């Protein structure tokens, strides 16, 4: 019965989404995004089982890579700005608001 897994992935995705919207620490926001990606993976694998073909599992691989690349680049960016302003809060990054 794959429904539970779908529900779980939906929950994870929702948690991630909400986290992105409400949390203020860039790194936490970023982790929430990763959480969303993993929720997608779970959904893919579940659907792969449901549809009885392997595509979903293969897709999960690619998603992993993309997620990894995102981690690498994202952390690099966040670390630079962190070194600059000694804080990773999204709110502090407000020079562009006007």
Partner 1 sequence: MNGTIQAPTIEYALLAPMLVVFGAAIVGVLVEAFAPRYLRSAIHLPLTLLSLAGAFALTVWQALKGVPTKPAAMGAVAVDGPALFIWGTILVLAFVSVMLINDEGHFVAAAAAVPGSAEEEQALYSGAAHTEIYPLVLFAVGGMLLFPASNDLLVAFVALEVMSLPLYLLCGLARRRRLLSQEAAVKYFLLGAFSSAFFLYGTALLYGYAGSIDLARINAALGTVGGQDTLLYLGAGMLGVGLLFKIGAAPFQAWKPDVYQGSPTPITALMASGTLVAAFGALLRVFWVGLGGLDWDWSPVLWGVAILTMVVGAVLAITQTDIKRMLAYSSIAHGGFLLVGVVATGTAAQNTSALSGILFYLVAYGVTTVGAFAVVTMVRDAGGEAWHLSRWAGLGKRSPLLAAVFAFFLLAFAGIPLTSGFFGKYAVFQAAVSGGATPLVIVGVVASAVAAFFYVRIIVLMFFSDPAADGPSVVLPSRGTAAVVGFAALATVVLGVYPEPVLHLAHSAAQSLFVR
Partner 2 sequence: MELYVPILVLAVLAAGFAVFSVGIAPFTGPKRWNRAKLDAYECGIEPTPQPVGGGRFPLKYMITAMLFIVFDIEIIFLYPWAVAFDKLGVFGLVEMVLFIVTVLVAYAYVWRRRGLDWD
User: Of the ranges 8-16, 31-39, 72-80, 90-98, which one interacts with partner 2 (CB under 8 A)?
Assistant: 72-80
- List the x/- string, 63-82, binding to partner 1 by CB under 8 A: x--x--xx--xx-xxx-xx-
Task: Give the position of tokens 């502090």.
Answer: 92
Which of 6/17 has CB closer to partner 2?
6
Residue 53 CB-half CA count within 13 A? 4
Among partner 1, partner 2, none, the one that 44 touches (CB under a kind-dependent 5 to 8 A) is: partner 1
Task: Give the position of tokens 């926001």.
Answer: 29
Report the alpha-carbon distance of residue 93 to residue 84 in Å, rounded.
11
Residue 69 CB-half CA count within 13 A? 5
Residue 6 within binding range of partner 2, rule CB under 8 A: no
Point out which residues bind partner 2 (CB under 8 A). 61, 64-65, 68, 71-72, 75-76, 79
């Amino acid at each position: 019965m794959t429904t539970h897994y779908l529900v779980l992935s939906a929950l994870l995705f929702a948690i991630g989404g909400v986290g992105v919207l409400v949390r203020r620490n860039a790194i936490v926001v970023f982790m929430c995004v990763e959480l969303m990606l993993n929720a997608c993976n779970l959904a893919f694998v579940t659907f792969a089982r449901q549809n009885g073909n392997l595509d979903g599992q293969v897709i999960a691989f690619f998603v992993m890579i993309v997620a990894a690349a995102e981690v690498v680049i994202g952390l690099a960016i966040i670390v630079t700005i962190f070194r600059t302003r000694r804080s990773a809060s999204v709110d502090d990054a407000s020079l562009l608001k006007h």
